[in-house]
Structure 1
Amino acid sequence: MLAPFLIMLREGIEAALITGIIASYLRHSGRSQWLPAVWIGVFLAIAVSLFVGAVLQLVSAEFPQKAQELFEAFVGLIAVVVLVSMVTWMRKAARTMKAGLQGSVDQALAQGSGASLALIGMVFFSVAREGVESVFFLLAVFQQSQGMAAPLGALLGMVVALIIGLAIYGFGVRINLRRFFQWTGLFILVVAAGLLSAAIGSLHEAGLWNGLQTPAYDLSHALPVSSLFGTLLSGVFNYQEAPTIGQSIAWGLFLAITFFLFLRPVRVSGEKPLTPAAGEPQNVRV
């Protein structure tokens, strides 16, 4: 429940930042008459994201067992790519997000008679990016989880993100977004490592990966998945009590590489290197 909650909270806040920056810019520049186009773009993005998720879920339900395992591996690998790109994009784009979005709004409204459609399209693609990312992550998590804990966690994350977004842009509440994105970024990378390990296991079940299948270690006596703490770790990080050598190597290499890239200083052309702590968005208010 914790993993879908935190990731949907982060995705929701990213979407709220994007929407809030655009809406605030229109309002402050005396173009509030274009706000309905913003909300149309947002609702269309949400609808398309839900449609994509429903289609993928329905299609996968018709697969035979091996094809189901292959689909789970495919979705898991896409989720890993999506999570890493999510973290990387926010780390690099945070400082220029506001100016970039405002420039895109000006471009859209300069389209003359097609300005409304251009603005709807701009908002749609900006928010749909977050929505489709969420779809692939949630599919990967739901395939690895049982019961309603994961869906409830995701729903709660979206609700809290909506409340925070309204508080930031409606009432001027400030939160330390720099710290929020930094710590959730590290958490997301650990979650992605677990999804990668699980995807490798699904590839083996599908008959496409048969190397390095010897168990690397066995914690079934010390920390079984059936235990309370084991269940928690399994639900959040895809913990396995007896992973194979291949899964363990992939998990360790993935974390070593992504942690190094995430924590290294951010260098911008013409500026001194900035660490994530200095380069990420801080107490943002639009």
Structure 2
Amino acid sequence: MTQSMFIVWRESVEALLVIGILQAWVSRQQQASHLLRYLWSGALLGLLLSGVLAGLILLAGEAMSGSANEWFQASLALIASLLIVQMVGWMHRNAGTLKQDLSRKADQRLNRQGGLGLMVLALLAVSREGSETVVFLYGAGARLQGPSLGLFAVGAIAGLVLALLSVSLLHGSRRFISWPRFFAISEAILLLLGAALLVSGIERIGGQLLAMDWPEPVYRGIGDALWNSSAILDDGHGLGGFLADFAGYRASPSALTLLVWIGYWLTVARWLRTPKAENLPCPT
């Protein structure tokens, strides 16, 4: 539930930020009411496109069984982890010029294509966030069933409500939290979630590799636990379970899992080495 809530919350806030910037830009144009219809039409089409992608992913998952389904779920988890790192890295470098970049693109599209260009810009912006959300949610919840799946869905709905409240708070007052601080905190949590998705995908791949013919050292690296810290912090419930879901913690990690987890954080540290832009502009 917490995974889906955070994913939808963070992605919805980013989508609302983009739409807010474009809406503020539209309000300064001639025929603002006319352009506003194109803007919201593009946003709705972006949501529709994300829904189509979700349906296709679900159909693909249901059409597969056994080993093929495991590989498919593992691939989506790895793609979700990669997208998280890419998205955080992009925002880390471009947050300070997001408003200017969107306004410039909107000016260019309006001059070339009129309101249709603005609609396409909104469609691309919303569908990107929506598509990322779909991939993240599938990667995080592919194995859930029954009550757990229901809680996962409730978390997604709660995340959307929380996003609306967060945007209202961020617009209404900066005394509690500013846009730069909000994105700094959410980026850190996203990277932890990316690690959890990566570990989940690698473990699924490891399970499939164990069924193949490999030398004994490979089997030990994939399947044997390096240690067992369950007595100190069990990854099945409580704090350990929360860390397992949100950061990829394992009480009994294999060599493969540990190496991939360490490699992930080394890659993230290198990826984010470029100094972050100082100011994230408010949409207004």
TM bin, normalised by shorter chain, reads 0.7 to 0.9
Distance in structure 1 (CA, Å) of the matches to 2:35 and 2:140: 38
The residue number in structure 1 matching 2:16 is: 16
Equivalent AA in structure 2 for residue 251 of structure 1? W
Q: Which moved more, 1:64-73 or 1:151-160?
A: 151-160
CA contact (8 A) 2:192 2:248 kept: no
- Residue 59 of structure 1 deviates from its aligned partner by 1.6
CA contact (8 A) 1:186 1:259 kept: no
Provide, for residues 168-217 of structure 1, a one-character-per-residue CA deviation record: whole Å limited to 9, x for no partner: 56xx4444111111121112112111211111111122338863222122
Distance in structure 2 (CA, Å) of the matches to 1:124 and 1:83: 21
2:90 aligned with 1:80: no
The residue number in structure 1 matching 2:183 is: 181
Alignment of 1:99-110 (within 5 A): 99-110=100-111
List alignment gaps of at least 5 residues for structure 1. Answer: 267-275
Is the partner of 1:8 in helix, strand or coil?
Answer: helix
Distance in structure 1 (CA, Å) of the matches to 2:252 and 2:279: 38
Q: TM-score, normalised by structure 2?
A: 0.86
Alignment of 1:26-41 (within 5 A): 26-32=26-32, 33-41=34-42
CA contact (8 A) 1:34 1:116 kept: yes
Distance in structure 2 (CA, Å) of the matches to 1:252 and 1:280: 31
Distance in structure 2 (CA, Å) of the matches to 1:77 and 1:151: 21
| Alignment size in residue pairs | 270
Aligned identity (percent) is 27
List alignment gaps of at least 5 residues for structure 2. Answer: none
Q: CA RMSD in A?
A: 2.2
Alignment of 1:195-274 (within 5 A): 195-207=197-209, 211=218, 212-213=221-222, 214-262=224-272, 264-266=273-275
Residues 39 and 49 of structure 1, relative CA distance in 2, 3 Å threshold: same
Distance in structure 1 (CA, Å) of the matches to 2:83 and 2:115: 30
Q: TM-score, normalised by structure 1?
A: 0.86
Distance in structure 2 (CA, Å) of the matches to 1:41 and 1:173: 29
The residue number in structure 1 matching 2:66 is: 65
Is the partner of 2:194 in helix, strand or coil?
Answer: helix
Alignment of 1:147-186 (within 5 A): 147=148, 148-166=150-168, 172-174=172-174, 175-186=177-188
Q: Which moved more, 1:205-214 or 1:25-34?
A: 205-214
- Residue 120 of structure 1 deviates from its aligned partner by 1.0
Distance in structure 1 (CA, Å) of the matches to 2:193 and 2:170: 28
